[in-house]
Amino acid sequence: MLLNDKQIRQLAEKHRMIDPFVEKQKHQGVISYGLSSFGYDIRVAEEFKIFTNVHSKHVDPKNFSPESYIDVKVTGDHCLIPPNSFALARSVEYMRMPEDVFAIAVGKSTYARCGIVTNVTPIEPGWEGYITLEISNTTSLPAKIYANEGLVQLVFLKGEKPDLTYNLKGGKYHKQNGITLPRI
């Protein structure tokens, strides 16, 4: 069952599912964030890991090198992602997924129309932590990503509690704090 704003609000209040929770979508002068009719637009925090080839490393998900990226802390209102490049970031919101709720993240159209593609893996029942956000700049120009504004929308689905939730299986990304790199 797809959850609407009333149901999302109830879960946020009862389980602290989204913290901090913005009850009414903010959209004046910003890329929207907060509660919408059938989802929740999460914000991107000020920390980014931008991939670089300055050390001539390769990307290996089983043996990821910290020399594959540079850390960037936003001092103004945005981070510039280089042309044809990729960055990791994290959500402002800390998530605590109830054991019968699953979320899917989809990119916001404002960024998609600028050639910026976002990808977030599914957010499983029982998972907790900050969401690591993946951002691809598919254009040949530098792209601005605005810190503390909306980046992706979460769509929530509710079903019967599964036998094995993320926290029970000891998932490797459970309770992640900050931008989390690939783990085996």
Query: What's the pLDDT score for residue 15?
Result: 95
Q: If you write DSSP's letter for every residue of 3-35 in order, what string do you get?
A: --HHHHHHHHHHH--EES--SS-B-TTS--BEE
pLDDT of residue 66: 85
134 marked as binding residue: yes
- C-alpha to C-alpha distance for 70 and 15, rounded to whole angstroms: 35
Choose, from 23, 134, 149, 160, the residue flagged as catalytic. 134
The answer to the question of whether 169 is labelled as a binding residue is: no
| Predicted pLDDT of residue 57 | 77
- Is 113 annotated as ligand-binding? yes
Q: Binding residue per annotation — 32?
A: no
Locate tokens 């929770």: which residue?
Answer: 21
pTM summary value: 0.93
Condensed to tens digits (0 to 9), the pLDDT of residues 27-66 reads 999 999 999 999 999 999 999 999 988 777 788 889 888 8
Distance CA 48, CA 79 (A): 8
As a whole number of angstroms, the distance between CA 46 and CA 80 comes to 12
Residues of the chain with pLDDT under 70: none
Instruction: Return d(Cα 62, Cα 135) in angstroms, integer.
Output: 20
Nearest alpha carbon to residue 23 among 35, 14, 31, 33: 35
Give CATH for domain 5-57+64-158: 2.70.40.10
128 is catalytic: no
pLDDT reported for residue 59: 84
Within the chain, residue ranges assigned H as helices are 5-15, 109-112
